[in-house]
Amino acid sequence: MTEPHTKQKITIFDVAHEAGVSKSTVSLVLTDSDKTSDKTKHKVLAAIDKLGYVYNRDAASLRSKRSKIVGVLINDLTNPYSAQLAVGLERHLHQLGMLPMLINSDENYQRQKDTVRTLREYNVAAIIMCPAPGTETNWVDQLISSGLPVINIMREVPYSNAPTVLPDNQKGSHQATKHLINQGLKNIAFLGGTEDISDFHERLNGFHTAIKQGNIDADQCPVIQAPTNRQGGREGMNRLLEHHPQLQGVVCFSDVIAYGAIESLKSSQISVGDQIKIVGFDDLADSSLMSPALTTVRIDADEIGKRTCQVLSEILQGTQPPVRTLVDVNLKVRASG
């Protein structure tokens, strides 16, 4: 009877023998060192493919005290902009040789804390997060003091030591509001967002600044807080229509809010873009395809990812990145506004 053949585990020594190099040279290639030539890297990678060698990065990270995994905590993965943001981050993290571990915090601070605690057990290289409402400055600073790099994106944690990468929220909502004022509108509302997130205050400040500069009576310009989803947009617009019958235009906290607002107007037989103008914020992929196409403030998610990874690269190299990085935005004028 023939005994079954047991396949022997391929080791780094087998790869070195196949490639005709030393074990240390294979290690340099596996850790993406720039101390080997392209020709040598090609030989080693070809040997790895031929033999089917699998590099144990968990063990390697324990030896080096640093993994290549970056925890990416997104506040709400049901929001379409979050998907655009995640793609932008993944692309640029890959260029750094890092692997993102994408997690939804679901706007829940306790869940965010529990997730970070678990990620630390896996020796992640850094945390990139869009902070959940209520995120405490002391908690963020303690993480940084422990040696774990933390970068906040899209939102700030006030006075924390974490570098932050943000779109220019105030400029965006100012441009959106000024665009409506320049068309002769005076009864303009701000719709969406809640006061426990920093981007709400920044976008609201831009709205109020434009209203003041346009010499518009603030009493004619209501602010309606609402959850950042379509239902929030629908319900918020219904409240505006009920209590502000002279409404001429709405600056929405996000495109998703704007989608809900437009649905509400259509169900009330109100012409969007003619009777009431709507402006969003984000420029989601579907916004230009809507009927009517949505006027909106564009945030380049890829640029957010690029600038975030520039900050991460500086931290990993031991240099001091900017405390606050503002990414420019621009208004895309379409039929709705």
Query: Could you read off the pLDDT of 9-42 as tens digits, one per residue?
Result: 788 888 899 999 998 888 888 877 778 888 888 8
- Map out the domains of the chain with their CATH numbers: 12-62 (1.10.260.40), 69-167+301-328 (3.40.50.2300), 169-299 (3.40.50.2300)
List Cβ neighbours of 293 (8 Å cut-off, separation of 6 or more): 287, 334, 335, 336
Highest-confidence segment of 32-36, 83-87, 274-278, 312-316: 274-278
The token duo for 14 is 């087998």
Comparison of pLDDT for 189 and 13, the residue scoring more: 189
State phi, psi for 298 to the nearest 5 degrees. -85, 125
The token duo for 275 is 């009777």
By DSSP bridging, strand 329-332 and strand 295-299 are: antiparallel
- Residues of the chain with pLDDT > 70, as a percent, come to 94
**Residue 295, Cβ density class (10 Å: 0-12 exposed, 13-18 middle, ≥19 buried):** buried
List Cβ neighbours of 37 (8 Å cut-off, separation of 6 or more): none
Q: What is the pLDDT of residues 122-150, one digit of tens each?
A: 889 999 999 999 999 999 999 999 889 99
The answer to whether residues 325 and 163 touch, using CB atoms and an 8 Å cutoff, is yes
What band does 121 get if pLDDT is binned at 50, 70 and 90?
Answer: confident
The position carrying tokens 């992640």 is 124
The token duo for 76 is 């709400």
Residue 5 has pLDDT above 50, yes or no: no
The answer to whether residues 336 and 179 touch, using CB atoms and an 8 Å cutoff, is no
Q: What is the pLDDT of residues 40-95, one digit of tens each?
A: 888 988 888 788 777 665 555 555 556 789 999 999 988 899 999 999 999 999 99
Task: Give the separation between CA 263 and CA 270, rounded to whole angstroms.
Answer: 10
Judged by DSSP in three states, 29 sits in helix
Judged by DSSP in three states, 277 sits in strand
Q: What is the pLDDT of residues 190-210, one digit of tens each?
A: 999 999 899 999 999 999 999
Comparison of pLDDT for 7 and 146, the residue scoring more: 146
Total length of the chain:
337
The position carrying tokens 């506040």 is 75
The token duo for 334 is 């379409």
Judged by DSSP in three states, 74 sits in strand
Q: Which residues on neighbouring strands pair with residue 127, listed in sequence order? A: 71, 150
Task: Give the separation between CA 86 and CA 94, rounded to whole angstroms.
Answer: 12
**DSSP H or E segment with residue 115:** helix 109-121
